[in-house]
């Protein structure tokens, strides 16, 4: 379980200018959820994901993973926490000079895995994401959807309990989007991995997220079960986002 408690993140740029990217945000992600975090551009979604992945430190407030405050971790405990949380970045962040196999093996080699063990794990992961035949290809030779699958395989390499995905389908066509979302759903079901998806697309949340948190201008607007929130939206921002469904994606 991940408890986000009064999370605030302020970025200081220069001496007297600051941006509050998140203000007093609180909600809980349960084990096994496919949890959507939705909001307009600039709402603070990526900042939230960066705090969840320990790439940013909260200015105040806490993120508790199974009761442990992530900001308080040091040394071995911090490394373990990173291992337990996989991240799929927007734009995939693949190493372009390395093959698919080397990309997926990268976190395993960093963790000190032996080559034979890493190879076996990579084979298993490429099988899982349907890219067994692309092990020796380079990212430039792959489609967007295939690159996204490599990024997902790499994020799963260390057997994380939580997979954080930043806009996993925003660069993909509708058919490929459906395939990537299907893969995420099967990872959640087969491996029991909790999945957190950052998106600005209502259709993504509707199609796979059982729960949702709506973020508006750095604040938590509303959250809960996706069907309930979308059937009876309380906040004007949720109504606005629902109004964009199916039409304005490329506007
Ligand atoms: N490193 C930073 N330094 C200063 N300001 C930042 C930094 N990162 C984010 N911000 C600001 O914080 C606010 C929230 O940004 P964030 O990227 O979290 O939004 P977002 O909801 O993910 O937007 P998008 O959907 O466009 O990616 C914005 O005003 C942004 O300019």
pLDDT one digit per residue (tens) for the chain, 251 residues: 999 999 999 999 877 789 999 999 999 999 999 999 999 999 999 999 999 999 999 999 999 999 999 988 888 888 888 889 999 988 888 999 999 999 999 999 888 888 999 999 999 999 999 999 999 999 999 999 999 999 999 999 999 999 999 999 988 888 889 999 999 999 999 999 999 999 999 999 999 999 999 999 999 999 999 999 999 999 999 999 998 775 544 43
For the CA of 50, the closest atom of ligand 1 is: 18
CB–CB of 56/9 below 8 Å? yes
**Complex-level ipTM:** 0.96
> 44 CA distance to ligand 1 centroid (A)?
6
What 3-state DSSP class applies to 161?
coil
Topology at the third CATH level for domain 1-84+160-172+186-245: Rossmann fold (3.40.50)
The number of beta carbons lying within 10 Å of the beta carbon of residue 81 is 16
Q: Whose CA is nearest to atom 11 of ligand 1?
A: 21
Q: What is the pLDDT of residue 246?
A: 58
* pTM, rounded to two decimals: 0.92
Q: Whose CA is nearest to atom 8 of ligand 1?
A: 47
Q: What is the pLDDT of residue 247?
A: 53
Q: Which residues pair with 215 in a beta bridge?
A: 220
Domain ranges of the chain: 1-84+160-172+186-245, 92-159
51-66 as b/e: b if 16+ CB within 10 A:
bbbbebebbebbbbbe
- Give how far the C-alpha of residue 102 lies from the chain's centroid of Cα atoms, to the nearest Å: 22
> 132 CA distance to ligand 1 centroid (A)?
36
Q: Which residues pair with 223 in a beta bridge?
A: 213
Q: What is the pLDDT of residue 249?
A: 45
């Amino acid at each position: 379980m991940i408890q986000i408690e009064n999370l605030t993140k302020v970025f200081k740029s220069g001496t007297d200018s600051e941006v509050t990217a998140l203000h007093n945000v609180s909600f809980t992600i349960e084990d096994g959820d496919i949890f959507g975090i939705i909001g307009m551009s600039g709402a603070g979604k990526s900042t939230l994901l960066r705090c969840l992945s320990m790439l940013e430190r909260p200015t105040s407030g806490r993120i508790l993973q199974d009761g442990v405050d992530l900001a308080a971790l040091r040394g071995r405990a911090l490394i373990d926490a990173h291992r337990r949380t996989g991240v799929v970045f927007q734009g995939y962040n693949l190493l372009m000079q390395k093959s698919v196999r080397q990309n997926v093996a990268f976190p395993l080699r960093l963790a000190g895995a032996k080559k034979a063990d890493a190879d076996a794990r990579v084979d298993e992961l490429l099988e899982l994401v349907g890219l067994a035949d692309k092990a020796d290809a380079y990212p430039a030779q792959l489609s967007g959807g295939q690159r996204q699958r490599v990024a997902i395989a790499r994020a799963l390499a260390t057997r994380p309990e939580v997979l954080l995905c930043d806009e996993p389908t925003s660069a993909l066509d509708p058919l490929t989007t459906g395939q990537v979302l299907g893969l995420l759903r099967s990872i959640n079901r087969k491996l029991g991995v909790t999945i957190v998806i950052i998106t600005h697309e209502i259709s993504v949340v509707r199609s796979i997220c059982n729960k949702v948190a709506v973020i508006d201008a750095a604040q938590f607007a509303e959250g809960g079960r996706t069907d309930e929130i979308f059937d009876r939206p309380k906040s004007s921002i949720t109504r606005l986002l629902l109004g964009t469904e199916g039409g304005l994606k490329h506007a």
